[in-house]
């Protein structure tokens, strides 16, 4: 088992490296790439445009080949670190380039400043670099460059957001800490935690609740359908699960939103004051109120619809799956023996049958986690729920690379981890499985 765990983890790391390379490579195929908006800006002269493009190209290292860029991103990615000679050199080159096309005197001044002050900085940083014998040696590079905390994503530097909240470290956005400027509104957000309260945590809350609710509903349905196979209830439940599996999440979400959020409120306002209605979006009612974030009641009201929407297909799928495996188990000889011994129905079903029927279910649940993460994008988009889905949706919409890459890596990590968990959980619940 230990050997298996080690091998499985090594495989996981390998898969993550390959996936990240694949994702990085694919994203780099974008026309215009990360400088898409630099290309689209209006410029007074062609020379100015060329200079700006050239500057951005150098700044983001786009003149390097893709492998170098990937490695740079992996373990040495920080375009704003003053101890990073590559960054300094890039900035300097970009300034020199831009100088030739710039007519704006203010801009000229700041460029001149870079050109005059950077060479000594570059020289000293390069001197530090010269002591690093091997650029591809992950362990020594950070310390010999004097940038131990800025060594690319593998050392925890995930870069800064380009567009969604320019200049804010991506991890701060994901974990909801530190201050930043929201680009879409242009408003400086001093305490983002009050607004976001960690998108990652929000999404995890949404997902865990969804898994919990799905299990609580799916298990009784599955067991009941199997025990009362071919009864009217079984047919009705089967039909329900078919509906659930076939229902497009976004449509179901919109209908709930319109009915429980909008229509109920309309009726409520029109006099049916007994009628409750649900908030149509957000994590809390009032984003400016710090207190609301810790008000469980408010949080739960905002979670009801997203959780229901996210759970629908897993409830349907899991109950159907459990029904099938229960039916399989109920046919086994040891269950028949249990009946023959005269055990109570409850004991036979729960202790002998269900326990064994749950074994394949474990894998299913673990593997559903990445699917739920995908579903969260749609659900959060509909209910404007401040989680990873919304963050990712904004990042993709605004072409915010570091944010996109980071969230993609996190979700790949989630996939790999859930695969490993599925295998391990399977080994734990099923004593017949022996990994070596």
Partner 1 sequence: MATNANNVNELDNREPADAIKPSENGANTPVQHITGVGGGVTGDSTDYIMRVQNLKKYFPVRGGVLQRVVGQVKAVDGVNFDVRRGETLGLVGESGCGKTTVGRTVLRLLNPTGGNVLFEGRDLTTLNAGEMKKTRRNMQIIFQDPYSSLDPRVPIGQSVGEGLLIHGFSREEREQTVRDMLKRVGLHPEHARRYPHEFSGGQRQRIGIARALTMHPSFIVADEPVSALDVSIQSQVLNILKDLQQEFKLTYLFIAHNLSVVEHISDRVGVMYLGKMAELADRDELFNNPRHPYTQALLSAIPIPDPRIRRDRIILKGDVPSPLNPPSGCRFHTRCWLAQQICSDQEPEWRDIGSENATAHPHLVACHFAEQTKVKGLANEIKEQLGTDTKV
Partner 2 sequence: MAVATTLDREQIASAKEESQRSVIWRRFRKHKLAVVGLGIIGTLTLLSLTAQLWTPYDPTVPGFNSGVQAFANPGYSNPSNGDIYIMGTDNIGRDVLSRLAYGGQISLSVGLLCTLLVAIIGTIVGAISGFFGGFVDTVLMRIVDLVLSLPFLPMLLALSIVLGPGYWTIVIILTAFGWPGTSRLVRGSVLSLRNLDFVEATRALGASNTRIITRHLLPNSLAPIIVDATLNVGGFIVAESSVSFLGFGISEPASSWGNILAGLEDVARQAPLQLIWPGLLIFLTVLSINFIGDALRDALDPRLKL
Footprint of partner 2 on this chain (CB under 8 A)? 15, 18-19, 22-23, 26-27, 29-31, 242-243, 245-252, 254-255, 258, 262-263, 370-371, 373-375, 377-378, 381, 392-393, 396-397, 399, 404, 407-408, 411-412, 414-416, 419
By DSSP bridging, strand 180-182 and strand 187-189 are antiparallel
Q: Which residues contact 217 (CB under 8 A, 6 or more apart)?
A: 311, 315, 319
Instruction: State the distance between the two ends of the chain, measured CA to CA, in whole angstroms.
Output: 6
- Going by the DSSP 8-state scheme, the letter that residue 258 receives in this structure is I
Minimum distance of partner 2 from residue 139's CB (angstroms): 26
Residue 6 is a binding residue for partner 1 (CB under 8 A): yes
Task: Indicate the residue among 133 and 436 with the shorter CB distance to partner 1.
Answer: 436
Please choose which of partner 1, partner 2, none residue 436 contacts, taking the beta carbon within 5 to 8 angstroms, the exact cut-off set by kind. partner 1
Task: Indicate the residue among 251 and 339 with the shorter CB distance to partner 2.
Answer: 251
- Dihedral sign, CA of 71, 77, 83, 88? positive
Please choose which of partner 1, partner 2, none residue 22 contacts, taking the beta carbon within 5 to 8 angstroms, the exact cut-off set by kind. partner 2
64: its two tokens: 């390097």
Using CB under 8 A, pick the residue from 46, 246, 273, 436 that binds partner 1: 436
Q: Alpha-carbon distance 265 to 70, whole Å?
A: 51
Minimum distance of partner 2 from residue 39's CB (angstroms): 15
Task: Indicate the residue among 6 and 130 with the shorter CB distance to partner 1.
Answer: 6
Residue 341 is a binding residue for partner 1 (CB under 8 A): no
271: its two tokens: 């006099």
Please choose which of partner 1, partner 2, none residue 228 contacts, taking the beta carbon within 5 to 8 angstroms, the exact cut-off set by kind. none
Minimum distance of partner 1 from residue 4's CB (angstroms): 9
Q: Alpha-carbon distance 91 to 114, whole Å?
A: 8
Please choose which of partner 2, partner 1, none residue 399 contacts, taking the beta carbon within 5 to 8 angstroms, the exact cut-off set by kind. partner 2
Please choose which of partner 1, partner 2, none residue 419 contacts, taking the beta carbon within 5 to 8 angstroms, the exact cut-off set by kind. partner 2
Judge whether 264 and 276 are in contact, CB under 8 Å.
yes
The label of the residue with tokens 């990712």 reads 392
Judge whether 314 and 366 are in contact, CB under 8 Å.
no
Please tell me the total number of residues recorded for the chain in this structure: 436
**What residues are paired with 160 via a beta bridge?**
169
- Going by the DSSP 8-state scheme, the letter that residue 157 receives in this structure is -
Minimum distance of partner 1 from residue 392's CB (angstroms): 35
Q: Which residues contact 326 (CB under 8 A, 6 or more apart)?
A: 222, 223, 225, 226, 227, 353, 354, 357
Task: Indicate the residue among 23 and 304 with the shorter CB distance to partner 2.
Answer: 23
Please choose which of partner 1, partner 2, none residue 31 contacts, taking the beta carbon within 5 to 8 angstroms, the exact cut-off set by kind. partner 2
Nearest to 30 by CA among 39, 20, 41: 39
Instruction: Looking at residues 8 to 37 of the shown chain, list those that interact with partner 1 (rule: CB under 8 A).
Output: 10
Provide the 3-class DSSP secondary structure of residue 187.
strand
Please choose which of partner 2, partner 1, none residue 6 contacts, taking the beta carbon within 5 to 8 angstroms, the exact cut-off set by kind. partner 1
Q: Which range in 1-9, 184-192, 234-242, 353-361 contacts partner 1 by CB under 8 A? A: 1-9
Minimum distance of partner 1 from residue 10's CB (angstroms): 7
Residue 7 is a binding residue for partner 1 (CB under 8 A): yes
Please choose which of partner 2, partner 1, none residue 19 contacts, taking the beta carbon within 5 to 8 angstroms, the exact cut-off set by kind. partner 2
Minimum distance of partner 1 from residue 22's CB (angstroms): 23
Minimum distance of partner 1 from residue 436's CB (angstroms): 6
- Dihedral sign, CA of 154, 157, 158, 162? negative
Please choose which of partner 1, partner 2, none residue 92 contacts, taking the beta carbon within 5 to 8 angstroms, the exact cut-off set by kind. none
Task: Indicate the residue among 189 and 200 with the shorter CB distance to partner 2.
Answer: 200
Nearest to 35 by CA among 399, 405, 395: 399
Q: Which residues contact 141 (CB under 8 A, 6 or more apart)?
A: 75, 76, 132, 134, 135, 151
- Going by the DSSP 8-state scheme, the letter that residue 154 receives in this structure is G
- Contacting positions for partner 1 (CB under 8 A): 3, 6-7, 10, 436
């Amino acid at each position: 088992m230990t050997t298996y765990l080690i091998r499985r983890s090594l495989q996981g790391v390998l898969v993550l490296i390959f996936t990240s390379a694949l994702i990085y490579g694919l994203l780099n195929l974008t026309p215009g790439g990360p400088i898409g908006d630099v290309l689209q800006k209006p410029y007074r002269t062609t020379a100015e445009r060329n200079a700006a493009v050239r500057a951005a190209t150098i700044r983001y290292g786009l003149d390097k080949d893709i492998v170098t860029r990937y490695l740079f991103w992996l373990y040495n990615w920080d375009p704003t670190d003053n101890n990073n000679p590559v960054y300094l050199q890039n900035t300097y080159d970009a300034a020199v380039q831009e100088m030739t096309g710039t007519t704006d005197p203010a801009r000229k001044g700041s460029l001149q400043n870079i050109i005059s002050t950077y060479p000594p900085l570059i020289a000293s940083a390069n001197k530090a670099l010269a002591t690093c014998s091997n650029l591809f040696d992950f362990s020594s590079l950070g310390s010999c460059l004097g940038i131990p905390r800025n060594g690319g994503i593998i050392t925890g530097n995930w870069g800064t957001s380009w567009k969604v909240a320019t200049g804010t470290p991506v991890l701060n956005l994901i974990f909801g800490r530190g201050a930043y400027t929201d680009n879409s509104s242009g408003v400086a957000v001093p305490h983002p935690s009050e607004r976001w309260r960690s998108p990652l945590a929000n999404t995890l809350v949404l997902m865990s609740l969804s898994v919990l609710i799905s299990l609580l509903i799916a298990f009784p349905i599955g067991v009941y359908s199997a025990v009362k196979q071919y009864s009217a209830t079984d047919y009705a439940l089967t039909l329900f699960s078919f509906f659930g599996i076939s229902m497009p999440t976004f449509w179901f979400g919109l209908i709930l939103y319109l009915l429980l959020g909008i229509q109920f409120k309309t009726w409520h306002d029109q006099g049916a004051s007994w009628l409750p209605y649900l908030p149509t979006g957000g994590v809390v009612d009032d984003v400016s109120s710090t207190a609301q974030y810790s008000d469980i009641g408010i949080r739960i009201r905002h979670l009801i619809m997203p959780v229901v929407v996210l759970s629908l297909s897993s409830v349907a799928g899991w109950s159907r799956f459990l029904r099938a495996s229960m039916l399989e188990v109920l046919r086994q000889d040891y269950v028949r023996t249990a009946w023959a011994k005269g055990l109570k129905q409850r004991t036979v079903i729960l202790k002998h049958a269900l326990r064994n029927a749950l074994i394949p279910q474990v894998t299913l649940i673990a593997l559903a986690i990445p699917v739920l993460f995908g579903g969260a994008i749609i659900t959060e988009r509909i209910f404007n729920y401040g989680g990873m889905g919304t963050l990712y949706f904004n990042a993709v919409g605004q072409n915010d690379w570091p944010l996109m890459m980071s969230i993609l890596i996190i979700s790949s990590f989630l996939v790999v981890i859930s695969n490993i968990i599925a295998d391990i959980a399977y080994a734990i619940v099923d004593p017949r499985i022996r990994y070596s």
